Amino acid sequence: MSAKQDEPKAASASNQPKMSAETASLLGLIDKLGSLLERSDLVELEVESGETGIVLRKPAALAPASAAATAPSTTETTNTPPSPAAEVAPAANVKSVKAPLTGVFYGSSSPGSPSFVTVGQPVAIGQVIGLIEAMKLFNEIKSDQAGRVVRIVAETGKLVKAMQTLIEVEA
């Protein structure tokens, strides 16, 4: 009887759908990307090819929300007066310059050189406001707004996503 019992198990295993070579290759690539993410200091990895895209995130990517909840409580107790001023600024005619692509943002051409823009400085349409490194290429990011820089949102050396605000400009 044990031979008969083994036959249905073997038959049911062969009835499972086989994975195509393309699917196996894709799953292998996802596994390699996951390993790469684990070994790096990145928190998130986004890959797109044609109409297909995948975003891999470390659990730490979700932790900043809870860390941010504790961090403002310490800054609110020490910096209570600037909070109302920060709320008033967005009410003015403030427009944002957004990243056209995902990559690492740099506010200057090299570590020792001055920043492309600083808070309070006037900025013109077409003026370079920073660099974004994507796939080992440095792309000049030009302002599509004119006015005075009121806030620099992006941090040098940090990952920015496409359509993320880089700077805020008051017209």
Can you give the pLDDT of all 171 residues of the chain as single tens digits? 555 555 555 444 455 567 778 777 777 788 888 778 778 777 777 887 777 778 787 776 555 444 444 444 444 444 444 444 444 445 468 999 999 999 999 999 999 999 999 999 999 999 999 999 998 899 999 999 999 999 999 999 999 999 999 999 998
Predicted local confidence at residue 80, as pLDDT: 43
CA dihedral 18, 24, 26, 32 (to 10 degrees): 150
Amino acid at 156: T
- DSSP class of residue 51 equals T
What's the pLDDT at 139?
A: 94
Which sequence spans correspond to the domains of the chain?
17-79, 93-170
| Burial class, 132, CB count within 10 angstroms (exposed 0-12 / middle 13-18 / buried 19+) | buried
| 43 to 40, 116, 158: CA distances (angstroms) | 8, 27, 11
Q: Is the dihedral of CA 13, 14, 18, 21 positive or negative?
A: positive
Beta-carbon count within 10 A of 17 CB: 5
pLDDT of residue 171: 86
CA distances from 165 to 86, 148, 161 (A): 16, 15, 9
Token pair for 152: 């620099």
Are 74 and 85 in contact by the 8 Å Cβ rule? The answer is no
Protein fold of 93-170: OB fold (Dihydrolipoamide Acetyltransferase, E2P) (2.40.50)
pTM assigned to the model: 0.49
**pLDDT at site 144:** 95
- Per-residue model confidence (pLDDT) at position 16: 56
Pairing relationship of beta strands 128-134 and 137-142 according to DSSP bridges: antiparallel
Which amino acid makes up residue 58?
K
pLDDT for position 63: 52
